Structure 1
């Protein structure tokens, strides 16, 4: 057997704690205190007058919500206006990104439009009224004076601004409303019901989901009363209930002539890998039930033919990938639990979205899987200023479990780009999952399939889709096992099938390496080993997923690939050495690095959605110092300056530090690399302000070093670091293939 250079593990042994002192120059404000007071006083007076005019029932506990837009220069967590909130007697209950042009900028610069943060703050109407009366008399020595300078605008939200999209002029319909309320504050929900009764608005309240500071609620109501519903101060958003994505494939199905479809006779490669698919179901007598167990949830109607066809196709893709009709079917890597969550054709039940989410959440709350697949979801492109219920609920669940979720981005890539209808669809904007799009061929010269929905995602989470894989197209459809009881093949296409194909590769990694690679490491490896396609990241994310397991777990002789799986404490720094030979490397050297971590989320603060951030500093040469008093070697750019999809404004405000998946490639001369390393700093925030969580943050990092001029780089590194890193060898003695 020829020599195999396996992926190297235990990279965390190459890390150690370091101390880095921070600090910066004092900030020059855009306004003086007197300017800020003069600007804001009439705004606060107007806002107070508007909320005083609201019906008493619309303000439970005599509390109302106002919005405060921050000056774009004050959106960092360290500038959160906590002192002002406490002084006025209001508390922030949510926020959203907003574009604004400030009246002034610091240092005399010309004002320009920039992305900033709109805060939603709740307080008694009497407190806001008192603020409006006293603000003209505030003095510069007041404790909250500096915080006042950070505010650009104060408003009372108006009903029509809360309504998303267009609504019919009249008639009853299913609506989705989002309330500023968490599960411990159900009084807001009760007050909302009372308000609707007082206003004589005939509604039927349905399912509700709580996610941090939001309550997502379905209701049947007359649309001509939408403004009255939105007048309630606790309402954040109101829209028509979105429908389910149409599950019909983007490519018309056709049978493939075959005389003998032979299914594998063996069981899965591993009995230990747990996979769940939530989809349209599998017939009980179907041949795929050899590896896939169908589960029927209580209270559901019979499955439709379209649902079963989709469910079987998705399951086939998870077991075998795109089937090459000229080769035998590969052995599946894992068994699958297939939960049927669909029971009606999309659009027939206006409440289907919440019903399906309730079914999925019910399963996930009782069982933990290694991998889950979602090739369905709302027919709703993501929005920059709001997080949908599906995303909020699933992201919260995924932040707390050791599960890697694959979610299809949808098939609306040819939608209206100006209106954003071509963007990835909910819930593929989950930051704790991999969003999967489709490319048009499994071979060379691939590109995004035209139907595959495009990025960017919301910031943080800009790179969506994360990855693409072959999903079929008209001249070359995706081949799956047909839904018939007799084994046969059929063709289909869409991101629904590219997604379980990526899951299959992840399950293969897990099957062969067991617990030595956790779900974060597998996610990181999938991104790290993807093929760049030369297209915009909005089209294909980080690239096309690797073609085989060999591409992920084996290294060429001139390449070394190391996996780091570790933890870091809040506000701390670790230094992660990049393993290179002690002798100078000739020629150019490529360093590829990928860093992933899961994070708790704040869906009521979409602009500050992730609670954790890792700031990475690249130090290529530990002998280079610019100043005598310098403690640490010179740094060089790596992740931040190349974040795909980031605007200049986002880079300026270091938004990349809150992205929980970073990937970049850097080329350097071998002679310039002397004990290179990454310094990693853990930042934490809560609802956009400073926060020090008690627990450490788990992360996974993969670093590859390739030196074409060093033919035995892998062997040199393995020998030099023999007491620290080690090859990860498969735990199963089976051929590695796809």
Structure 2
């Protein structure tokens, strides 16, 4: 059954736990929906969710009795009060489960491959339990009785959900969709088509003067079409592993070679010399897969990616392929997104994912949105722009897929990089050093992978959160940044982060790397010296990895790191005595005004006042989510008036949720924060003043050692 919440009650603290417990309903998931949000000042349509509940007949009887009697006894009355939070309680609609348009011109007699997703059957110790064997057998029997077949060899279970490909005709799909444990039945998507290549004349690239990678802090994995062999070019002296038994396809090899070349060398120019690759790269050939397009190829490729990454060797992964499936407003769980997000969390892997090339589709179709798995919460998704840095003006390439993305990472793509356009194509490297030309996010993504690989060699401590934070923080904002965030994400991503590690006399960049336990509050002093009395500008980027719940698409990320900025250690809020008509004031705790207020019976707050980072002071849950409360990547910019700052500090608090309710179980989340401070007056002393006052800070120098991953409670400043 499904219980639709009113939008006023979507916060975890409003979860109707008493009601569900009283009637004996077990929450096994949720769906995205919309409803009418009513507050004292406005009425508007807003996002909400449907709770998916496993119930028996007795639970329905108790619910009916509760509605009729309004509850007798304390627990019953408490349960009845929570009914006010529901708009409806009903069986799932057929149109919700079946995701296919039964057009008049379709006979539906031909069988095709569908993806069936089944609900968990229960929850134990807070974890969803997949559907049992009895229900699976009933499902298989139903499919076969309607003339279909089930690919049991590809049954996969993720986060309590069961994903299973089946073959059935379109005319039988509505009957199959009535199977009650079924969450969704949708056509199986094909792997995205390759960009088309054109020939290009021009002088060849000279291989690097030095063989091998600059450092070995980790190894980069590229899953694509393989690499053309060339005995004498010296450009691709890397392992190429064939994971597919199929004979290599020439176009797939062109694509894989170009993608791998961009990972190794970044953006190349004809006639130049390639620089030494920053990290070792391994190419895994998964194209063509041993299945027909639109059949089981997506499942097979994802299995190969998982098997390879389970070895733990690769911490940076380039994916310039994926299903032809745009993220939808209903945000139904997807196996690619869920499994790779879980891998990213468990193994601290950075996936750099091409956003897709359907951005020129009509918005009403929804096909212009970023494509799976670029909707991951823990990844770097890359769109395409029409010019590389530092060329201006620049804009989104017309084909580049757009946001918003999935909750947990709504700003999608994270950013854009040059991917070629009709009048300025991308130079696609070939094995012999010559070029083809093409355009697509397939090529913008590996350019970013190369930049992040180079960054990993320059920092003394690297994890996935650090790399994601750098990407967002140092992206070049477009002049129409706010209006075009769904097109450009955080902006145009750097070709190299080397310049970001150098500070001028009027700027400071500081990186914090840490991890936080649930319920903790950590504080960090910000790099503004006490002697600094001018105006200042500050930008703050937070990135963290989060566990995910595929059964809860609107509550997809389980962790929220809340940021609080306290700019002045002495500025406090003072409240008048009870019954007074006077309004609260903010005053310097050391001032005569503060002493007079305290003498008159006023009380001061326990902590210094805060400066808003979200852009909205509203406490409405919908507004908080829109401003990024549960997003794993956040960027804020603030300005300070002269004299406003004194021992500024940034606080981080970790709140967890599970199944949409607040969670108290102990967990730790790694995170990275980058803070940049600049002096608009250009007095030329900011960097020196910070270095003099904060002796713990150390300039970043290139490190060519083993990567330090999660662990310990060490707090690092750079």
Q: TM-score, normalised by structure 2?
A: 0.87
**The 10-residue stretch of structure 1 (203-212 or 191-200) with the greater mean CA deviation from structure 2:** 191-200
Which of 247, 256, 269 is the matching residue for 1:302?
A: 247
What is the aligned counterpart of 1:332 among 263, 266, 277? Answer: 277
* Residue 685 of structure 1, CA deviation: 0.4
Aligned to 1:482: 430
The one of 345, 348, 351 equivalent to 2:296 is: 351
1:690 aligns with 2:662: yes
Residue in structure 2 matching 1:501, options 447, 452, 459: 447
Match of 2:377 among 424, 428, 431: 431
Cα distance change of structure 1 residues 538 and 637 upon mapping to structure 2, 3 Å threshold = same
Give distance in 1, aligned partners of 2:143 and 2:451.
54
Aligned mates of 1:625, 1:591 — CA distance in 2: 22
SS at match of 1:292: coil
State the 1:69 CA deviation.
0.4
Q: Tell me the equivalent position of 2:598.
A: none
- Residue 311 (structure 1) aligned with residue 256 (structure 2): yes
1:161–1:516 Cα change, 3 Å = closer
Q: CA deviation at 1:445?
A: 1.3
Matching residue of 2:123: none
Q: Deviations over 1:494-546 (max 9, x none)?
A: 10111011111111011233x52333212211211111012311111001112
**Structure 1 residues not aligned, in runs of 5+:** 1-65, 734-738
Q: What is residue 202 of structure 1 aligned with on the other side?
A: 148
What are the Cα deviations for residues 99-156 of structure 1, in whole angstroms up to 9, with x where unaligned? Answer: 1237xx465x665322111110011134324433553123374231222221111111
Alpha-carbon deviations, 1:300-330, whole Å to 9, x = none?
2112111111000000111111212253222
Q: Does 1 or 2 have the higher relative contact order (CA < 8 Å, sep 6+)?
A: 1
Distance of aligned partners of 1:701 and 1:275 in 2 relative to their CA distance in 1, 3 Å threshold: same
Q: Which residue of 2 aligns with 1:261?
A: 205
Q: 1:201 offset after TM fit, Å?
A: 4.2
For 1:524-535, list aligned pairs within 5 A: 524-535=469-480
Of the three residues 80, 85, 89, the one matched with 1:150 is: 85
Q: Tell me the secondary structure at the aligned position of residue 393 of structure 1.
A: helix
Displacement of 1:489 after TM fit?
A: 2.0
Cα distance 1:235–1:297, how it changes in 2: closer, same or farther (>3 A)? same
Q: Which residue of the partner structure matches residue 86 of structure 1?
A: 21
Sort the Cα spacing of 1:368 and 1:686 in 2 relative to 1 into closer, same or farther, 3 A.
farther
| 1:477/1:491 contact within 8 Å kept | yes
CA contact (8 A) 2:31 2:554 kept: yes
Q: Return closer, same or farther for 1:718/1:567 CA change in 2, 3 Å cut-off.
A: same
Q: Is this contact kept in 1: 2:195–2:438, CA < 8 A? A: no
Any idea what SS the aligned residue of 1:173 has? Answer: strand
Alpha-carbon distance in 2 for matches of 1:198, 1:327:
61
Measured after TM superposition, the shift of residue 647 of structure 1 is: 14
**Which residue does the alignment assign to 1:55?**
none
- Aligned partners of 2:522 and 2:651 also within 8 Å: yes
Are residues 188 and 460 of structure 1, via their aligned partners in 2, closer, same or farther at CA, if it must alter by over 3 Å? Answer: farther
From 377, 389, 393, the counterpart of 2:322: 377
Partner of 1:101: 36
Q: Secondary structure at the match of 1:399?
A: helix
2:691 is matched with 718
1:412 and 2:358 correspond:
yes
CA-CA distance at 1:462 after TM superposition:
1.0
- Among candidates 657, 663, 667, match of residue 635 of structure 2: 663
2:610 to 627, 632, 635: 635
Q: Which residue in the other structure is 2:528 paired with? A: 580
Q: Which residue of 1 aligns with 2:53?
A: 121
CA deviation after TM superposition for structure 1 residue 413, in Å: 0.7
Structure-1-length-normalised TM-score: 0.84
Tell which deviates more after alignment, 335-344 or 179-188: 179-188
Shift in Å, 1:346 = 9.5
Quick one: structure 1 residues 137 and 436, their matched pair in 2 at CA, closer, same or farther if it must change by over 3 Å? same
- Identify if the C-alpha distance between structure 1 residues 703 and 110 changes in structure 2 by more than 3 Å, giving closer, same or farther: closer
CA RMSD of aligned residues (A): 2.4
Cα distance in structure 1, aligned partners of 2:652 and 2:641: 23
**1:141-192 per-position Cα deviation (integer Å, ceiling 9, x unaligned):** 4231222221111111132321113254332100011110366544365244
Q: Is the 8 A contact 1:254 1:490 kept in 2?
A: yes
Q: Relative to structure 1, is the Cα distance of residues 191 and 88 closer, same or farther in structure 2, using a 3 angstrom cutoff?
A: farther
Deviates more, 1:180-189 or 1:611-620: 180-189
- The structure in which a higher percent of residues are helix is 1
Over 3 Å counting, the alpha-carbon distance change for 1:191 and 1:112 in structure 2 is farther
Aligned equivalents of 2:702, 2:218: Cα separation in 1: 14
What is the CA-CA distance between 1:339 and the residue it aligns to?
A: 0.6
Contact 2:614/2:627, CA 8 A, preserved across alignment: no
Q: Out of 651-660 and 304-313, give the one that drifted further.
A: 651-660
Q: CA deviation at 1:380?
A: 0.9
Secondary structure of 1:432 counterpart:
coil
SS of 1:245's partner is coil
Kept after mapping to 1: 8 A contact 2:425/2:439: yes
- Measured against aligned partners, the alpha-carbon deviations of 1:586-614 in whole angstroms (never above 9, x if no partner) come to 2x311010000000000110100100001
Q: What is the CA deviation profile of residues 445-490 of structure 1, one whole-angstrom value per residue up to 9, with x for unaligned ones? A: 111111100111122211000011111112111113225xx33222
> Residues 702 and 188 of structure 1: is their aligned pair in 2 closer, same or farther, counting only changes over 3 Å?
farther
2:516 maps to which residue?
568
Residue deviations 1:201-247 (CA, integer Å, cap 9, x gap): 43232412221121111111122111111111111111111111111
Structure 2: 5+ residue runs without aligned partners? 121-127, 575-602, 706-718
- CA 1:554–1:176 in structure 2 vs 1: closer, same or farther (change >3 Å)? same
Q: 1:552 aligns to what SS in structure 2?
A: helix
Change in 2 beyond 3 A, CA 1:192/1:410 = farther
**2:536 corresponds to which residue?**
589
- Within 1, Cα distance between the matches of 2:605 and 2:566? 13
- Output aligned runs, 1:11-90, within 5 Å: 66-90=1-25
Superimposed CA distance per residue, residues 62-89 of structure 1 (whole angstroms, 9 cap, x where no aligned partner)? xxxx000011111111111111111111
Indicate conservation of the 8 Å contact 1:270/1:511, yes or no: yes
Equivalent position SS for 1:682? strand
CA distance in 1, matches of 2:658, 2:181: 21
1:227 aligns with 2:227: no
Q: Is the partner of 1:581 in helix, strand or coil? A: coil
